[in-house]
Amino acid sequence: MDDLATLAVHGAKAEKPQNEPVSSPIYQSASWTFRDLDEVDAVYEGREAGAIYGRNGTPNHRALEALFAALHRAESAVACASGMSALSATFLGLLGSGDKVVASQDLYGSTLNVLRDLGRFGVQTVTIDIGDVAGVKRALKGAKLLLLETASNPRLRVPDLPKLSALAHQAGAMVVVDNTFASPYHCRALEHGVDLVMESLTKFINGHSDVMLGAVAGKKDLIEKIRTVAVRMGLVSNPYECWLAVRGAETLELRMERASRSALELAQFLERHPKVRRVHYPGLPSHADHETARKVLRNGFAAMLSFELEPSRTSVNALLHHLRYIKLALSLGGANTTLSHPATSSHRFLSPQEREALGLHDGFLRMSVGIERLEDLRADLMQALEAV
């Protein structure tokens, strides 16, 4: 009898090296074997290190979670398939029917939409202006959760995390912060009193625009509630993406250092340019939250800025047609500098009234500054603005 079929399944045997590789292996397996039932019990109960099933996570998931927790000096972390799944798992793990969420009106558009969806399950959301402390205090009465962004998308509003966290805790609410724009390089939000810090790792942590991932970090008891939902509902990622993000994060500080330095220079350049009506960058004294940003952010003011041309799609298209390096792309946090247009992308699904209230008109652009040479970026903007 030809044993080819059996050999094809079982023949690929290699000895496990006893020494450690410099780059950790990718555990591309959705399923794991067990010696016997005692080992199954031991792994489930955490008495023995081991993996169970893809949805429960692999060593690559655990490595990314350990990394994210370490970067935020958190007790624990859970990785999910995207920033939105990390937020969704957080809401589904911590909220129930009848609960009230107080959310900054300046959140990423999809986050506002998820909160709206949760209304169908009895979770009510009230939006607030982070600068109106008395209004925040009023809204927090009876709230279960306060949701903020460290530097908001796209106006770069920076909340006074210590002050708002204290108010939320007095009201019995926990505080969740989306720290995507800042990354741990610019803000360790847990050190400012918040309970959970979440990031879309798709952005700066991975840093190369080639994975979708998210994570939440904080105290172990909260993280375990979120993990249970993430595993049960399948909101988890795969080993390869986790591996890529671990690799990308090795250069986080180098990238952020360069990009945030360039962002400040470009914000100053744009603020002086006659074709630019307004610049939103927390590092500029003209920004409403400059003083708060000096307290909450560290190592500079991050790599995201927004600027306003006249409210016209024609002007924006003229700029886009003339830029050589800076491309329109609907994400952020990569090595390359990109622009996004909130009115047609991240905030597309808000009502025109909601967009208007946030000032997100047709000439509003958000820029994610990358690691190219600053002089090239400045020259690129200068020549393209000529065409506007």
Ligand X SMILES: Cc1ncc(COP(=O)(O)O)c(C=O)c1O
List interacting residues with ligand X (CB under 6 A): 82-84, 108, 149, 153, 178, 180-181, 200, 202, 212, 214
**C-alpha to C-alpha distance for 307 and 276, rounded to whole angstroms:** 7
Nearer of residues 202 and 209 to ligand X, judged by Cβ:
202
Active-site residue, from 27, 99, 108, 362: 108
Residue 211 beta carbon to ligand X: minimum distance, rounded to whole angstroms: 9
Which amino acid is present at 209? S
Which amino acid is present at 120? R
Asked if 206 contacts 67 with a C-beta cutoff of 8 angstroms, the reply is no
Q: Which residue is nearest to ligand X (CB)?
A: 83
Active-site residue, from 106, 160, 178, 195: 178
Residue 159 beta carbon to ligand X: minimum distance, rounded to whole angstroms: 13
- The verdict on whether 380 is a catalytic residue reads no
Nearer of residues 27 and 181 to ligand X, judged by Cβ:
181
Count of Cβ atoms closer than 10 Å to residue 124 Cβ: 16
Residue 222 beta carbon to ligand X: minimum distance, rounded to whole angstroms: 19
SS3 per residue for the chain: CCCHHHHHHHCCCCCCCCCCCCCCCCCCCCECCCCCHHHHHHHHCCCCCCCCEHHHCCHHHHHHHHHHHHHCCCCEEEEECCHHHHHHHHHHHHCCCCCEEEEECCCCHHHHHHHHHHHHHCCEEEEECCCCHHHHHHHCCCCCEEEEECCCCCCCCCCCHHHHHHHHHHCCCEEEEECCCCHHHHCCHHHHCCCEEEEECCCCCCCCCCCCCEEEEECHHHHHHHHHHHHHCCCCCCHHHHHHHHHHHCCHHHHHHHHHHHHHHHHHHHHHCCCCCEEECCCCCCCCCHHHHHHHCCCCCCCEEEEECCCCHHHHHHHHHHCCCCEECCCCCCCCCEEECHHHCCCCCCCHHHHHHCCCCCCEEEEECCCCCHHHHHHHHHHHHHCC
- 267 closest CA partner among 105, 151, 110: 151
Active-site residue, from 144, 157, 203, 366: 203
Residue 200 beta carbon to ligand X: minimum distance, rounded to whole angstroms: 3
Nearer of residues 153 and 165 to ligand X, judged by Cβ:
153
- The verdict on whether 203 is a catalytic residue reads yes
Residue 46 beta carbon to ligand X: minimum distance, rounded to whole angstroms: 29
Nearer of residues 108 and 364 to ligand X, judged by Cβ:
108
Residue 125 beta carbon to ligand X: minimum distance, rounded to whole angstroms: 16
Nearer of residues 108 and 243 to ligand X, judged by Cβ:
108
Residues contacting 12, CB < 8 A, separation 6+: none
Nearer of residues 153 and 315 to ligand X, judged by Cβ:
153
Asked if 176 contacts 196 with a C-beta cutoff of 8 angstroms, the reply is yes
Nearer of residues 52 and 329 to ligand X, judged by Cβ:
329
Residue 212 beta carbon to ligand X: minimum distance, rounded to whole angstroms: 5
Residues acting as catalytic residues: 55, 108, 178, 203
